[in-house]
């Protein structure tokens, strides 16, 4: 059955399986696959069986390893020693669009208008005219145009044009206001920790590992507990923001009261959190995501022993010595600059 989202306060070492991680080799996981589209389609469904199918599908496609970049600072060493990662509020992330969403109320108004026309078509329209109005991009404007041509409305051309302009203006303003409010609420409600499937990226090391002075920690997903794996999601990249129009339409068409425990309602924050602009595609991100209404940030999650640690090519000598001491029982690699190509080459220490 569907499990509600929430803070993984019970996520600790005892929740992990006994699988032992091995050495890290191989090419990066593909950026996007058909299974991800199917997964998020199922996850947005209100059918409990569909949601169960979604998580089964994701479990079968988890990457063998996810990586967490760390800066060269004492807190990062403490986290490594304690086996911790931290959930942070999406409002604090480096992407102002992170975990936000959009809703086009004008399109929703048009769709509601079409539904009303289908249920109670005007007697002045024949079947062909009704079909044309329903298929128009702006059915309100199309209907008034037909009625004016038939002489069944007192609206003049100027009055009709002014009415359409005012409706569009109000819908646009409402869309902007509601969208901004919803985006802020979702950003406050989302707590996430970012991982990647790409540990050799020069850009990632520059951005998230203190310009190659930090390190990268590898975690085998097979060694994580079922609850951790369930809350680990692939990020999808596109040019369009995540829209809740379909979900609002589903609710508006329902005769039942809104149920905040329904699968689609529970997963709206997750769906918003996994949609990012295509500019971030290079990150190949997977996220540990939890939804909570408190807006708190900085929540520790025990993830356990890493399967490997990678040292940055510019790591200071003193920090390197301390890191190797703490990671004495973990396979350690040093990222070295290739002598012939723009590439990082891990070498076992």
Q: How much of the chain exceeds pLDDT 90, in percent?
A: 38
Distance CA 116, CA 134 (A): 10
Q: Residue 27 CB: number of other CB atoms within 10 A? A: 8
Same domain, 212 and 309: yes
Same domain, 115 and 137: yes
- 9-23, 79-93, 105-119, 236-250 — which is least confidently predicted? 9-23
In the prediction, which pLDDT does 239 show?
Answer: 86
Same domain, 150 and 266: no
Averaged pLDDT of the chain: 77
In the prediction, which pLDDT does 149 show?
Answer: 77
In a domain, 127, yes or no: yes
Identify the residue with better confidence: 275 or 101: 275
Look at residues 125, 147, 179 and tell me which one is the last residue of a structural domain. 179
Q: What is the average per-residue pLDDT within 58-70?
A: 95
**What DSSP string describes 280-335?**
GGGG-EEEEEEE-SS----EEEE----SEEEE-TT--HHHHHHHHHHTTTS-EEEE
- Evaluate whether 241 touches 187 at the Cβ level (below 8 Å): no
- Evaluate whether 67 touches 222 at the Cβ level (below 8 Å): no
Same domain, 151 and 294: no
Same domain, 255 and 323: yes
Dig out the tokens for 262 from the structure: 């329904």
pLDDT digits (tens, 9 = 90+) for 94-118: 888 877 776 666 666 667 667 777 8
Distance CA 21, CA 65 (A): 9
- Evaluate whether 263 touches 3 at the Cβ level (below 8 Å): no
Q: How confident is the model at residue 9 (pLDDT cuts 50, 70, 90)?
A: very low
Same domain, 210 and 145: no
Phi and psi at residue 17, in whole multiples of 5°?
-75, 175
In a domain, 6, yes or no: no
Same domain, 277 and 186: yes
Helix, strand or coil, per DSSP, at residue 10: coil
Same domain, 218 and 339: yes
Identify the residue with better confidence: 186 or 171: 186
Model-wide pTM > 0.85: no
In a domain, 7, yes or no: no
Same domain, 265 and 230: yes
Q: How confident is the model at residue 81 (pLDDT cuts 50, 70, 90)?
A: very high
Strands 344-348 and 236-238: unpaired
Burial (0-12, 13-18, 19+ Cβ within 10 Å), 319: buried
Same domain, 201 and 150: no
In the prediction, which pLDDT does 104 show?
Answer: 63
Number of domains in the chain: 2
Which helix (H) or strand (E) covers residue 246, if one does? helix 245-253
Look at residues 154, 179, 204 and tell me which one is the last residue of a structural domain. 179
Q: What is the average per-residue pLDDT within 219-248?
A: 85
Same domain, 251 and 274: yes
In the prediction, which pLDDT does 275 show?
Answer: 87
pLDDT digits (tens, 9 = 90+) for 298-313: 788 999 899 999 999 9
Distance CA 110, CA 171 (A): 10
- Evaluate whether 48 touches 295 at the Cβ level (below 8 Å): no
Dig out the tokens for 137 from the structure: 């991009």
| The pLDDT of residue 171 is above 70 | no
**What DSSP string describes 13-65?**
GGGS-SPPP----SPPPPS--HHHHHHHHHHT-S-HHHHHHHHHHHHHT--SE
In a domain, 5, yes or no: no
In a domain, 4, yes or no: no
Highest mean pLDDT among 109-113, 218-222, 239-243, 249-253: 218-222
Domain that holds residue 305: 13-99+181-348
Same domain, 29 and 121: no
Distance CA 124, CA 100 (A): 44
- Evaluate whether 301 touches 308 at the Cβ level (below 8 Å): no
Q: How confident is the model at residue 18 (pLDDT cuts 50, 70, 90)?
A: very low
């Amino acid at each position: 059955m569907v499990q509600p989202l929430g803070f993984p306060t019970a996520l600790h070492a005892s929740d992990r399986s006994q699988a032992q991680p091995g050495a890290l080799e191989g090419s990066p996981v593909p950026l996007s696959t058909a299974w991800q589209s199917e997964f998020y389609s199922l996850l947005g469904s209100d059918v409990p069986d569909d949601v169960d199918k979604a998580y089964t599908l994701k479990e079968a496609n988890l990457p063998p390893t996810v990586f967490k970049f760390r800066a060269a600072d004492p807190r990062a060493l403490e986290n490594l020693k304690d086996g911790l990662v931290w959930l942070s509020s999406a409002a604090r992330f480096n992407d102002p669009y992170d975990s936000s969403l959009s809703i086009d109320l004008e399109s929703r108004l048009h769709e509601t208008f079409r539904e009303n026309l289908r249920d109670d078509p005007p007697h002045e329209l024949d079947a062909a005219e009704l079909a044309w109005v329903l298929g128009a991009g702006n059915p309100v404007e199309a209907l008034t145009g037909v009625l004016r041509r038939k002489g069944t409305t007192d609206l003049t051309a100027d009055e009709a044009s002014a009415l359409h302009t005012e409706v569009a203006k109000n819908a646009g303003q409402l869309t902007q206001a509601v969208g901004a409010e919803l985006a802020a609420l979702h950003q406050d409600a989302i707590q996430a920790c970012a991982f990647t499937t790409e540990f050799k990226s020069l850009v990632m090391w520059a951005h998230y590992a203190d310009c190659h002075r930090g390190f990268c920690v590898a975690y085998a997903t097979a060694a994580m507990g079922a609850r951790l794996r369930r809350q680990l999601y692939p990020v999808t990249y596109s040019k369009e923001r995540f829209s809740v129009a379909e979900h609002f339409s589903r609710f508006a068409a329902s005769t039942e009261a809104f149920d905040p425990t329904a699968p689609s309602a529970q997963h709206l924050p997750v769906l918003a959190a996994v949609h990012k602009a295509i500019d971030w595609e290079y990150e190949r991100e997977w996220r540990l995501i939890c939804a909570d209404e408190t807006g708190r940030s900085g929540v520790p999650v025990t993830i356990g022993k890493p399967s490997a640690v990678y040292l940055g090519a510019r790591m200071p000598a003193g920090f390197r010595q301390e890191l190797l001491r703490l990671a004495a029982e973990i396979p350690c690699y040093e990222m070295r600059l290739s002598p012939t190509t723009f590439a990082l080459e891990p070498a076992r220490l």
